Amino acid sequence: MRLLDDIRERPPGRIIRSAWRRGRLGSGTWMALAILGTGFRLLKYLSRRRSEVAHRAELRPGESLKIRHLSEDRRGQQV
């Protein structure tokens, strides 16, 4: 299974880059693979978690801040 081992070792970006190159040379299969790979990378990028600012305020001398964390299960539901 040398071929599968070789594929697992390569980063996906290198495979996608090779697919674009081979697809531009006229191979429809490689072009389809390049489009699918790029589409998956784009979906992964667009669906990533972004940090969210819940509250922002300036503290004056003598004021304090209490930080609480609400427990969540795997689906993000509050427990």
pLDDT digits (tens, 9 = 90+) for 19-43: 888 898 888 888 998 898 888 888 8
Domain annotation covers residue 78: no
Q: 17: which 2 tokens?
A: 């880059």
Structural domain includes residue 37: yes
- The residue that leads in pLDDT, 3 or 48, is 48
Q: Which residues pair with 72 in a beta bridge?
A: 78
CA terminus-to-terminus distance, the chain: 46
Q: Kindly state whether residue 28 falls inside one of the protein's structural domains.
A: yes
Cβ-based neighbour number of residue 34 at 10 Å: 21
Number of structural domains in the chain? 1
Residue listed under structure tokens 């490689």: 30
Angular region, 60: left φ>0, alpha ψ -120 to 50, beta rest: beta
pTM beyond 0.75, yes or no: no
Q: Is the pLDDT of residue 62 over 90?
A: yes
